[in-house]
Chains A and B, each alone.
Chain A
Amino acid sequence: MTTAQPPISGPISARSRLGRIPSWQITLGIALFVLGLVVVAQFQSDGPRAQYASDERGPLVQTAITLQSQQDALKAQILDLRTQITDLETKGQGSVATATDLGQRLQDARLAAGLIGLQGPGVVIQLRDSDQTVPPGDNPNDYLVSADDVRTVVEQLWLSGAEGVAVNGERITTGTAILDIGGTVLVNSAYLAPPYQISAIGPPDLLDRLTAAVGFRTFAENRAQAFGIQVDYAEPADVSLPAYAGTITLRYAQPDPSVAPGGGASSPAP
């Protein structure tokens, strides 16, 4: 007797067959699939690293990583010391008018210098290396974000009215150089890994001003359209810029004696 079953056999029997497969087999199947993916990913990403592990680059890479993490710790120490100094300087000065006034001027000077973190309206521009295949005969470095690219965006932000800029957490100050080493970028002598996020605080229409600037549009056309450098924009509600944690000690430049300490001469010297 087979007549009772056919009309409803299709879906139900398929479901019950699935139900008969023990759940551990399904888990194992999924696990094996993921395992396969990871193995492939591992082999693909192993190529370039396997090269340097066997040559002189291995120790150098390790040294660079160690020095960079030492640098991070040193910078944190400087910031901590500066915070303690500021706290002491502002503490208990209220009764002395001269000290209060000096404290306020010191705070303004530190703000102007980038020695205090800044928060406010602004933009974040992200630059990423091209993901295009480099055509034969082209220079592969043209397809990577260069120090020139980062510098151009920083300069265009200043020209558009930015009042503070940082690149991947390094505050741009009066002494900041932005340099290329190979296909990577150094800012304040800190090694930065791509993607590069250039954060700026400024007027509420900073992004409009930037994207309308001829200099920025030319940059975008030359680099993004020609080489596929990826330029992304974000306008977070609040942008925050870290304080500069480097040296501010002058060895060669001295405050000019014709000006009273902290005097802020308004007439430029000859």
Chain B
Amino acid sequence: MNKRRNQLSLAIVAFLLGGLIVVQLRSQEAGNGLDQLTPTELTVLVGNLNTRNDQLRAEIATTQAELSALQASDARGDTSVGQLQSDLAKVRAWTGLDPVNGPGVRITVTGGIDAPSVQALVNELRNAGAEAIAVNDLRVEPNSVVNGPAGGLLIGSTALGDPFQVSAIGNPETLTGSLTRAGGIVAQLAATAPSAQLIVTPIDMLLLPATTEDLVPAHGRPQL
């Protein structure tokens, strides 16, 4: 009798323990840092995720159409050279391996500005949906980093000079709005780099050059 009671209490304790461990693990998992965000920040995050998911759905539709066209030409026994060419043109334009044209904005930067500020400007253009960016006549790639001291800025081994221009293709209104909004990057730079002057001009037709690098990895190999 006594032994049975002992076993019962042991079972209850083990049950509670198991339950608590599960609760503890679950709550650690759910944490993810989201609980530190304010409602405003969460709203921005949700907006960002929504926009991105819409873009991904559109990309899926395009890619699905591309696949169907390929499958059709494959079924007909075609070599699909035309499809390959259009794919190649699309990827090369997106990557910066080919020149592109289109509407966008040009930012003329005059005066003392440091490298991180220029990088912040490029980051903001990407965030605002710029599809292609160039600094002076050099196409910006992921590995194009502006560095060097203020007054002696370089991109790669090319000096930027003063003034220099940052051009971006995208929706001119969205790009201009996002750069010049209250608290946006232009306002921030006016506070942190007061000696620099940034003039944002919407442009109907920009022509951005191709990168001069081939960008094909030399050390990494494709995961196939």
Which A residues contact B (CB, under 8 angstroms)?
A: 22, 24-25, 27-28, 31-32, 34-35, 38-39, 41-42, 45-46, 48-49, 51-52, 55-57, 60-61, 63-65, 67-68, 70-71, 74-75, 77-78, 81-82, 84-85, 88-89, 91-93, 96, 98-99, 102-103, 105-122, 148, 151-152, 155, 158-159, 162-165, 172-179, 181-184, 186, 188-191, 193-194, 201-204, 215, 240-241, 243, 245-256, 258-259, 261-266, 268-270
B169 to chain A, nearest CB (A): 4
- Give Cα distance in the complex from A42 to B25, angstroms: 9
B94 touching A250, Cβ below 8 Å: yes
A261 touching B223, Cβ below 8 Å: no
With A82-B63, A98-B81, A250-B90 given, can you name 10 additional A-B contacts, CB distance below 8 Å? Answer: A57-B35, A102-B88, A106-B91, A111-B216, A117-B223, A118-B222, A121-B219, A184-B33, A246-B56, A252-B104
Enumerate B130-150 residues with CB–CB distance to A below 8 Å. Answer: 130-132, 137-145, 147
A40 to chain B, nearest CB (A): 10
B169 touching A89, Cβ below 8 Å: no
B24 touching A259, Cβ below 8 Å: no
Please encode chain B, from 74 to 114, with 1 for each CB lying within 8 Å of some chain A CB and 0 for all others: 10000111011111111111111111111110000000000
B35 touching A49, Cβ below 8 Å: yes
B91 touching A109, Cβ below 8 Å: yes
Check A261/B142 contact, CB under 8 A, given A67-B49, A120-B221, A163-B219: no
B201 CB contacts on chain A under 8 angstroms: none
A269 touching B46, Cβ below 8 Å: no
B57 touching A113, Cβ below 8 Å: no
B153 to chain A, nearest CB (A): 13
Question: Residue A181 contacts which of B14, B48, B53, B83 (CB distance < 8 angstroms)?
Answer: B48
Question: Residue A119 contacts which of B39, B59, B223 (CB distance < 8 angstroms)?
Answer: B223
A194 CB contacts on chain B under 8 angstroms: 33
B101 touching A264, Cβ below 8 Å: no
B217 touching A118, Cβ below 8 Å: yes
Check A265/B98 contact, CB under 8 A, given A177-B126, A247-B55: yes
A186 touching B104, Cβ below 8 Å: no
A88 touching B10, Cβ below 8 Å: no
